[in-house]
Chain A
Amino acid sequence: MRIIPSLRGSGSGWALVWPARFIYKAKGLSRSDILIALALWLVVGFVVVYPLIFLFGESLRIAGTDRFGIHNYLDFFKDPYYLRCFGKTVLLGFLVLIATTAFGLPAAYILARYRIRGKTIFTALTLLPIVLPAYAGAFAFIVFFGRWGTLNLLLIEWGIIKAPVNFIYGLHGLVLIQAIHLLPFIVLGLMAAFTTIDPSLEEAAEVEGASAFKRFFTITLPLCTPSYFASAVLVFLWPFTDWLTPIMLGQTDLLPSIAYINIAYHFTDMYRKYMGIVSVVVSAIVCVGVFLAVKAWVERKKYTVLSKGTMFTGRQVTPRLLSRLVAYIYMLFISGLVLLIPVVLGLSAFSRRWVFTPIPTYWTLENFKLILVETPLLVRNSFVFSGVALVFGITFGLAAAYLLARTRVPGKSALEFITTLLLVFPGVAIGVSYLLAFWRTVPLATHWIIMPLALFARRVPYFLRMAYASYLQLDPSLEEAAEVSGANKLTTFTSISLPLLLKGIFVGVIMFFIMAFQEISTAVFLYRGGWETLPIGIYLNWHRGMEFGIAAAMAFFMVVLVFILLLIAAKIGGGILNVAWGATGRRS
């Protein structure tokens, strides 16, 4: 009751306090929890619900009339084409998840458990794909694996093949590109899990005589499942949001691609536009269903280890020579695959007219000379917009993660449901909904703040998921112990929860910033001249058609910039990376 009198002077404060007081009394909940929930709901209402109402309303419009109805949805489910697109998207989600797990599981295990040299650089390289827009990776792979790309030309030159082989165009190429792009999600998720498992559990199994193989499959892997599924669901849902990479590879029969094509190219055909929006809504609903199912499973499988409060790293071993050799070969393979993207982009950036030769023949600094005139603006915009979005994201994400994991505030599931929608809504849909919602009545679209606001709305689930997953792994009894000892909620949070959550939060901050930094599909609809970010610059230069070199130079510049950021984060903060992830293997 202490807070309520302090708000008496403000009329608007009372509007918040009275319902809070009512619910507080009715449910026996903490006052601060209720106030946080109300504040979060205001934010969600403004940046999510309000624009999405416009979007959903659009999906109900009946083309050629002023009426609304569910006709578009009925058409969607009657149309074999949309059903085929849907089935193929689900299939792609599974294939990408399988491929990403196959690539990521050994990498995460090596990075989390083995004491090997170069672990920091391997970790940073494994995280690299996420800093690239997915389509930049696709360009690089097309240049390298294309019909007249480096690999085909070399194989023809060496007499191994006679005609070019289709390495990349098709579902197989799409799976490869998306799996590499999403590798960091799985690796980070699994690394976090591997490092937080109490070593004593595995040691106990070892003492009992379990083989390394048995230990891994009966102790380690089951304990990783909550973290793995928290990441895996993001990977699985990715094909429901990425429209550009499939289109580049000629795969248009997927829900997000068909949604983008229908929305972007409807021209005067409003029915096409509404069906595009319906595709977005349907895929979002299905994805949220999947997400909720996984979430329920993760919560049921929650493993709480009391000793975790005193441990910062999991079990680490010095591998035997053979294991070390295999680990190095594997990490070099993964790193090579990942490095292919910046290397090819780099070669393109320093050349022009690279076509029909395995490596460029015409070298130039012209591309960099050109972009140095443009880039300072783009870099500044990227940092400012992502930075502001990050401030929004941390403030919102921490509070939301706390509410979701620790309170019984009414409507928290709805809050999660709505923020989760953002994860699966194609950026183009958010872009369109923002344009619709923030133009006339709330004219935010004419001010630059719309850019970080959209980035925040689009990327906040990435931070929230990490913070939430960390909360799930944090034993509530540690916090309860602090509270029983007389600490208030704030002290408990800053002295108990926050230090233990630091790893998840730090990962979340990096993920959020990077994802905001490379966001394009919403931004491309909202930007005005002077608000271009680096990814938009890459897209615009690529869209010229022939100026791949300039786009590559921008992408290369961005990769180097963000990679340096990652290294700085690993060095300075990091103590955090080191302690939390055991990245350098200093501790046993």
Chain B
Amino acid sequence: MKWLLVAKGKVFLAVCLLLLPLFVLQGAAQERLGWIGPIYQELAESLMRGFKEYYRKTYGKEIEITFIRPGGWPVCVDKVRLWGGKPDADVFLGAGAPAHELLKALGLTVPYYHKHWDAIPAQWRGMLVKDPLGYWSAFAPWLITNIYNEVVLKYLNLPVPKTWKDLLNPIYRGHIVQTLPYASGTQHETVEIHLQTMGEEEGWAYNRYLAAQLLRFSTGSVDTLHIVSRGEAAIGVAQPQMNAMAARKDGYPVAALVPDKTIMVPEAAALLAGAPNEENAKIFLDWLYSMEGQKYVLIGGYFPARIDISLTEWEAEGIIMAKHAREALGVDNFWDIEVELIDYDLELAKARWDEVNRYYEYEIFRKWDELKQTLILIEKVEEEIEAARKRGVDVIEAESKIKEARTLFGKGDYGEASRLALEARGLLPR
């Protein structure tokens, strides 16, 4: 057994030596702060840089900041839920109202009125920008937009699609990409926009037709941006407004287009319940909404939220991103944008969140191949009917059948729609 003890001792010593740097490093940190959230890495780095500098200047000591981004905001919310009130972070950084409302309802966040509460509007064009009870407030608002690649559209000789209806034009078929509503909050809210503005039946029919136009489903909003930026697809649906700005800044020929019906997403921050570093979290939130903090928000590629900001002035101060933001927004302050927002029912959206995701998954995503084949068949038969009509054939009955087939397609009964389309074809003379 002696050899075993000696061997064990050696292994233990080797492991200790190997791990020594970590213990040393862990022991060295004094002040700490942790963030979790779906914000892009660039914003996290910008905020980290700015806040560390502020903390050093104000308190004369260093602060160690950790940032966890396990995925999009649904994944982040799930991670906080897994922590079960014993969080491994202090601040939930990013995500819109639905995520923060859920965190609030689960008791995972606590109210905190930061020092600049009044500099953030309570509402904008009918949409909440901050929680009246103080649980969350927007630090970086944006609109839901679509994006397109200028080079690819030009190569394909296609016009820029300006409205949601434009996207259904067959000329765009196979050139559009979007993600799944349960993979991205932005995409989910886009589906909700269609449902709330068109009504459920027409809204789902629209989404079926749009799905038939897709090249493929992406894995998330960032993936959509990536695919469009590289030109793999010409058009991307459901994008945070600042994404095109970030892509353009990096030299990609990507532009954003605010569609005819959209909403504002109040990218917000909140204090987590049971935050291990609550005091530092409050200091950070106070700083985040200050003029200085908001500049770092902009440098990180997001639009700042304060009402008293002038991008022109910031540009004059030498902040390069202020120029990009002004060009992207077309105004001097985000809240000056002239846009018609829909009357978005947040309560309704929250109440049917899972139901909408599941319906989309089961009735559109899972049946995507069948959906596309059915629509192609209907379109083909319609062409045949048109050709027969031009030849003077009586196509009234066939027309009635194919119309019914379209109606059934809109309702998601692809099998029956295909059967009727084939029946319509059968009514035409050979």
Contacts and interface: CB of A to CB of B under 8 A. Distances in A.
A446 B34 CA distance: 13
Interface string B65-88: 111111110110111001110101
B229 A265 contact: no
B357 A541 contact: no
B250 A142 contact: no
A547 B69 contact: no
A261 to B, nearest CB: 7
A266 B84 contact: no
Contacts of B88: 445-446, 528
Contacts of B67: 529
25 contacts: A169-B216, A169-B232, A264-B71, A265-B72, A266-B74, A267-B182, A268-B102, A269-B358, A355-B230, A355-B231, A388-B19, A391-B15, A391-B18, A432-B82, A445-B88, A448-B26, A530-B25, A543-B41, A545-B225, A545-B226, A545-B243, A546-B225, A546-B226, A546-B252, A547-B42
B82 A356 contact: no
B187 to A, nearest CB: 11
Given A142-B232, A355-B252, A448-B26, 14 more contacts: A148-B231, A169-B232, A264-B75, A265-B72, A265-B75, A352-B251, A356-B231, A388-B19, A395-B11, A439-B83, A529-B65, A543-B69, A543-B222, A545-B40
B105 to A, nearest CB: 10
A528 B79 CA distance: 12
B229 A252 contact: no
Contacts of B246: 545-546
A286 B84 CA distance: 33
A9 to B, nearest CB: 12
A42 interface: no
Interface string B208-230: 00000000111100110110011
Nearest to B72: A265
A540 B44 CA distance: 11
Interface of B: 1, 3, 11, 14-15, 18-19, 21-22, 25-26, 34, 40-42, 64-72, 74-75, 77-79, 82-84, 86, 88, 102, 151-152, 180, 182-183, 216-219, 222-223, 225-226, 229-232, 243, 246-247, 250-253, 353-354, 357-358, 366
A261 B220 CA distance: 10
A546 B219 contact: no
Given A250-B216, A261-B180, A272-B182, A356 B151 contact: yes
B230 A530 contact: no
Given A356-B231, A546-B229, A266 B182 contact: yes
A267 B358 CA distance: 12
A436 B357 contact: no
Contacts of A269: 182, 353-354, 357-358
A234 to B, nearest CB: 26
Contacts of B216: 169, 250
Contact of B229 (A3, A527, A545): A545
Contacts of A530: 25, 64, 66
A530 B24 CA distance: 13
Contacts of A552: none
B11 A529 contact: no
Nearest to A490: B3
Contact of A248 (B74, B219, B247): B219
A265 B231 contact: no
A146 interface: yes
A424 B159 CA distance: 48
A448 B22 contact: yes
B183 A6 contact: no
Contacts of B243: 545
Interface in A371-399: 380, 384, 387-388, 391, 395
Contact of A353 (B183, B218, B250): B250
Interface in A389-440: 391, 395, 432, 435-436, 439-440
Nearest to A3: B1
A267 B354 contact: yes
Given A448-B22, A540-B41, A528 B66 contact: yes
A248 B216 CA distance: 11
A147 B232 contact: yes
B42 A544 contact: yes
Contacts of A41: none
A439 B84 contact: yes
Contacts of B229: 355, 545-546
A265 B183 contact: yes
What are the 7 A-B residue pairs with the smallest beta carbon separation, nearest first?
A: A529-B66, A353-B251, A267-B74, A148-B231, A250-B216, A269-B354, A545-B222
> Most chain-A Cβ atoms within 10 A of its Cβ — which of B22, B83, B102, B246?
B22
Contacts of A158: none
A525 interface: yes
A327 interface: no
Given A267-B357, A269-B354, A529 B68 contact: yes
A370 to B, nearest CB: 9
Interface in A67-81: 81
Contacts of A356: 151, 231, 253
A541 B40 CA distance: 9
B21 A380 contact: yes
A391 B11 contact: yes
A116 B229 CA distance: 45
A444 interface: no
A247 interface: yes
A269 to B, nearest CB: 4
A97 interface: no
A435 B82 contact: yes
Given A261-B180, A490-B3, A439 B82 contact: yes
A541 B41 contact: yes
A387 B18 contact: yes
B247 A440 contact: no
Contact of B82 (A142, A436, A527, A528): A436
Interface string A251-280: 010000000010011111100100000000
Contacts of A387: 18
B320 to A, nearest CB: 15
Contacts of A169: 216, 232
B84 A440 contact: yes
